[in-house]
Amino acid sequence: MFPKKIILTSQDINSYNDNGYLIVKKLFGPDECKKLIELALKTADLTYKVRMSPDHESPEIKNFITDGRIADVVETLHNNMPIDWLGCQIHFRIPGSPFTKGWNPHQDNHYTRYPYGMGVSAIVALEDADRENGCLYAYPGSHKLPILEHEPHSTYAPNENLGNKCEIPTEFINRKVDLLMNQGDLYIQHGNLIHGSHANNSPTRSRLNMGILCIVHGQTYTSKAQSANRKPQPLRG
Ligand SMILES: O=C(O)CCC(=O)C(=O)O
């Protein structure tokens, strides 16, 4: 258990409700991120494609996820209801690998279909992320939309933009923002928020992050992503 409770301000909560995302700065320290990167790299394959459920192999990864910090934040954004996590995934974006392209714009909840507002993706920036090394981008306010149609695209196709893709509704096209992050930041994203990521165009810098899918305990979901082998477990370990 992490000793100190993470407190969000009312400004943080309002910003999350208005925009559909929140960045909590430096929730994890540099040594913790270094350790997580080491653990993540041990679970990667030679192509560095996205790694689903590395926690199944690494109890240490699971300990980082469930030590209470992420739970403090996600519970606060959901009226202190207990939260489960369904699994995690690691994006590597290593220069020179076949997986440096971006992710197509999408809503995470088109994959999982939990009830509106009952879940989030929590993404830990394991390294600094900016436009050059392929940061995420989002369309603030788009979390108020229903789930849109998504065109199927593979999650594992080398040298292509990855993942199912939605069209950006006209009123959101000019609202795109890049999500600049520092190592150790925690990014929380509403399941209906349209987002994606840029290609990593840096010749030298990777961009690792770890995403954790969280839902309010007891809510229904479906999982089309069989490879993720998702099953709910308490986020507060
Ligand atoms: O990290 C990335 O490049 C994409 C992550 C993403 O869009 C997601 O996990 O839903």
Total domain count for the chain? 1
Query: Sign of the CA dihedral 76, 79, 82, 87?
Result: negative
Ligand 1 centroid–CA 24 distance in Å is: 17
Q: Which domain holds residue 73?
A: 15-234
- CATH of residue 212: 2.60.120.620
Our answer on whether the CB atom of 112 is closer than 6 Å to any ligand 1 atom is no
Is residue 34 domain-resident? Answer: yes
Q: What is the mean pLDDT of residues 68-74?
A: 98
pLDDT on residue 225: 58
Q: Kindly report the protein residue whose alpha carbon is nearest to atom 1 of ligand 1.
A: 91
Length of the chain in residues, anyone? 237
pLDDT on residue 227: 54
pLDDT on residue 1: 72
Report the residue among 52, 195, 202 best suited for mutation to probe ligand 1: largest number of ligand atoms under 8 A from its CB.
Answer: 195
Is residue 9 domain-resident? Answer: no
* 211 Cα nearest atom in ligand 1: 9
> pTM value?
0.96
Is residue 96 domain-resident? Answer: yes
**What are 136-186's pLDDT values in tens digits?**
999 999 999 999 999 999 999 999 999 999 999 999 999 999 999 999 999
Is residue 47 domain-resident? Answer: yes
Q: Is 177 helix (H, G, I), strand (E, B) or coil?
A: strand
Our answer on whether the CB atom of 103 is closer than 6 Å to any ligand 1 atom is yes
β-pairing verdict for 186-190 and 21-24: antiparallel
Our answer on whether the CB atom of 108 is closer than 6 Å to any ligand 1 atom is yes
Cβ(210)–Cβ(123) below 8 Å: yes
Is residue 196 domain-resident? Answer: yes
